[in-house]
A and B are shown apart, each in its own frame.
Chain A
């Protein structure tokens, strides 16, 4: 009951004209960046970091704007996957498998409307899941001290490397680089300048906005240049009937529910977002349908059930992503990592106390997820053609626009050219790393969590006067350390045992 009254107060926060407007704006912008191949929520949210401060938005409004961009892009990613077989963003890879064949058969309208509906169901179920699970988890997490925190963060990094990345070594390297970047600047405990190399601009550390915009927006433009030269096919097929009918909905109901559940639980794991969730949901659905209905299964040639489960799963996963972020302060995707970084810029410490210290922010955000999803469904069925037209915006308009918004944002922080140069250098370095398949999500996670990890580590070691043994002195910590070791050791071991037969194709996952 207590939860219900908190949720109602959350709706009061989310329903103010400003926050409703921001949710709507976020939903539109999110769907648009979702449609554009290459541009994902993480780029848009990164570019917004300085903007929300320049506009003087309160923390809950910033979170609402960024969250609705995040969930909006999951709706948008499916549009280009279905229409032109190019996933608008990483988690829509599986959508293209069933969606594009459908649009080749002249059923694009059905595929788009049905996937909007299952996206909505997945998102809503996951948001209900947040309401139920998050308060319980946050109460439990209050027992966490510095010792458990160190273990938890190491576990999060291990998950990112072991579960998600195709090459765990590169993901760990990315974590290391992120952690190293977080140490630049004055050390708050001792007042010592670290890695500032005599540059006054580095004394208070690398600016968060500068680093994330370089990592995501600038490097993306350089990657875009390569795909631009390779050429994107932009032929939109006939739309056909624009709304699915009852029998199509009845056919896919079970798939939608299964996809939602799989996505929800996958989304809880650090690092594994919509990309892994949708891949798993697809393979499970394929196995189930081919056993139950061998005549009717058309996987690979446009099966509505495959499409329904994939879209339900990736939207459900991106919503349940908010649970570890809000309750433990451990973001599980690049986008939620940036949102967490923004919270720290507002001097809000993420973690289990967030629920008690910032109830307006937490519940306002959760309520706005409900509102945002309704808006997204309302926008995505009638106006899908309008969003699809984004695909015809030429790159030579889009790219200068992105550069200008990025530069203005970075410059607005400290009005220093230094940050602009740093942004470009970080961007070029990130482009090179991404070409070598070094994932960016672990890097930004390391950068966001680095200071917190170091503080907790030092606090824990202060308790024991320097004895490292304290790090595994509580049972929660021991469980987390063991889990971290297993997630790193088991996947390569299993892969070797199975002769590298099964390997989910997840490329980098930039969400």
Chain B
């Protein structure tokens, strides 16, 4: 899947999307000869041009991946996405502890090591950032407890 040709195709698609949306950008009152659509169209041309070259010249040969890493990358990406989504509703401490546990496991920690890392990171960084540095973090379901 991951080949230069895929990259070229996606770049071309991106250029079309940018050009499609960029075309319709018109300023209600024009004070200057160049409106808001010109620059996006230039970038679309650049991206599309590069995409075309990659598509035509690309080999279609897949990069050799590291065995066993594909699943890990998938799990890690999903974990990070879940962390981003649950950050506010679940609160910083719980979401961070869960994310750290899973991430540590992906990187080869035992369950016990993961739990230790997760709880220290979650509580330690909450105290450091929220109480120490005045970065307001969501408390979530733990609410008043913190």
- Which residues from chain A sit less than 8 Å from chain B, CB to CB? 54-55, 169-170, 172-173, 175-177, 179-180, 183, 187, 189-192, 194-195, 218, 221-222, 225-230, 394-397, 399-401, 403-405, 407-408, 411-412, 415, 417, 420-421, 423-425, 427-428, 431-433, 435-436, 438, 453-454, 457-458, 461-462, 465-466
Whether A400 lies near B81 (C-beta < 8 A) is no
Q: Which residue numbers of B lie inside 8 Å of A, CB to CB?
A: 2-4, 7, 11, 14, 18, 21-22, 25-36, 38-40, 42-44, 46-47, 49-51, 53-54, 57, 63, 65-69, 72-73, 76-77, 80-81, 83-85, 87-88, 92, 96, 99-100, 103-109, 113-114, 117-118, 121, 125, 129, 133-137
Alpha-carbon distance between A397 and B109 when the two chains are bound, in angstroms: 9
Contact residue among A194, A399, A431 (Cβ-Cβ distance under 8 Å from B73):
A431
- The one of A55, A421, A436, A466 in contact with B4, judged by C-beta atoms closer than 8 angstroms, is A436
Give which listed residue, B18, B35, B39, B76, contacts A221 with CB less than 8 A.
B76
Contact of A226 with B73 in the complex, beta carbons under 8 Å? yes
CB distance from A146 to the nearest CB of B (A): 12
A424 and B117 form a contact (CB under 8 A): no
A183 to B36, CA, bound (A): 9
A225 interface neighbour in B33, B39, B72, Cβ under 8 Å:
B72
Give the residues in chain A near B84, CB-CB below 8 Å: 407, 417, 420-421, 423-424
Contact call A408/B137, Cβ cutoff below 8 A: yes
Report B8 CB to chain A, min CB distance, Å.
9
Structural contact, B133 and A54, CB atoms closer than 8 A: yes
**Residues B83 and A397 in contact, CB atoms below 8 Å apart:** no
B99 and A403 form a contact (CB under 8 A): yes
- Which residues of chain B have C-beta atoms less than 8 A from A465's C-beta? 33
B54 and A170 contact, CB distance less than 8 A: yes
Cα-based distance from A489 to B118 in the complex (angstroms): 52
A461-B117 contact given A192-B26, A395-B107, A417-B88, CB 8 Å threshold: no
Interface-central residue, A54, A180, A191, A228, by most chain B CB under 10 Å: A180
CB distance from A54 to the nearest CB of B (A): 5
Known: A192-B26, A194-B40. 8 other contacts (CB 8 A): A173-B54, A176-B47, A194-B21, A227-B66, A395-B108, A399-B104, A408-B125, A424-B83
Provided the pairs A176-B47, A438-B7, A454-B39 are in contact, do residues A192 and B27 lie with their beta carbons within 8 angstroms?
yes
Q: Which of A55, A400, A423, A462 has the most CB of B within 10 A?
A: A400
CB contacts (< 8 Å) of B68 on chain A: these are 229
**Bound complex: CA A177 to CA B54 (Å):** 15
Residues of chain B contacted by A194 (CB below 8 angstroms): 21-22, 25, 36, 40
Please tell me if the beta carbons of A427 and B103 are within 8 angstroms of each other in the complex.
Answer: no
Known A403-B80, A420-B83: A222·B73 in contact at CB below 8 Å: yes
Q: Is the CB of A172 within 8 A of B50?
A: yes
B67 CB, min distance to chain A CBs, angstroms: 7
What's the Cα separation between A407 and B114 when bound, in Å? 19
- CB-defined contacts of B113 to chain A, threshold 8 Å: 396
Taking a contact as CB atoms under 8 Å apart, the answer to whether A228 and B107 are in contact is: yes
Contacts of A436 in B (CB 8 A): 2-4, 7, 63
What residue in chain A is nearest B88 (Cβ atoms)?
A417
Given contacts A396-B114, A421-B85, A431-B73, contact A176 B46 (CB under 8 A): yes
Q: Is the CB of A461 within 8 A of B34?
A: yes
User: Known: A179-B43, A192-B27, A195-B21. Contact between A55 and B121, CB under 8 A?
Assistant: no
